[in-house]
Chain A
Amino acid sequence: MDDMMTKRISKGLLAGVAIATAIGGLATPAFAQRDPAYAAARSAGQVGEKMDGYLGIVGASTPELQRLVNDINIKRRAVYAERAKATNATLEEYALTAGCQAILATSPGEKYQAPSGSWETRTSAPPMRDSRCP
């Protein structure tokens, strides 16, 4: 009787987890779009990808830009922290790796930070990246 109960409960739990996973998978958009303000600032070259894996303000800072960049960087940091834990790395290590990849993923016209620290405009040529980047 006890065995039957446990089986029923665990079956119920399994089904619940399966349903939750299915709904969660559907609810989370796999490729969410950038916020329009962020997309605009990015293509205008007002913000760029830094080497450390975070977004930076390229030219003159405005409170609006600062808010936008802070908001994205806080979200990035949370993602980095989660993945760093999962991959047994430090936050800085994971963020730096993501920076390598994010700079590589920039489109022509977007800004990125070169190893010298200067802001560069991405062309069709490969970006100038840290020598440690894969």
Chain B
Amino acid sequence: MKDIMNKEVDDRKEDAIVTEKQLLPVQLNVNGKQYILHLEPWTSLLDALREHLGLTGTKKGCDHGQCGACTILIDGKRINSCLTFAVMYQGVPITTIEGLAQGDKLHPLQQAFIKHDAFQCGYCTPGQICSAQGMLNEGHAYSRDDIHELMSGNLCRCAAYNNIVKAIEEVIETGQTPDAV
């Protein structure tokens, strides 16, 4: 075992060469606001939002693209913000959970989530809501089965799944689907 551990380290000895901070100016357009940050290239978009912009509504559940808690919208389409570097998303419109409500007026999905008790602990909720909005924007959900499948990238350990689907269906049925955000 000793050999293995050392070999692992030896194989990437050269990593240690790059030790000086290399901060890159990164311009992010989040929820309609422009931010200029100075980030290391390895800062994930998720960490940039949470740690550097204080937008902790976007959650970290796995940091490996396996849970969907970090779902945000890029140009209206959903992505996992943990599996990308902030430096790669400069200038494009980014929407997070903080950008959905209009002041005190909740977004229709937010209202429907409350009404249908579409969450328990609330940790996956921002990701679920962003994902639902992304799904509506992407325009491929035509049935309840489609919703179940197309929301499957968002785990909910409390398993509020059926209530989430009810909330989304209500927003679709009442035609309150807001324009792409």
Asked if chains A and B come from one complex, the reply is no
Residue numbers of B with Cβ under 8 A of A are: none
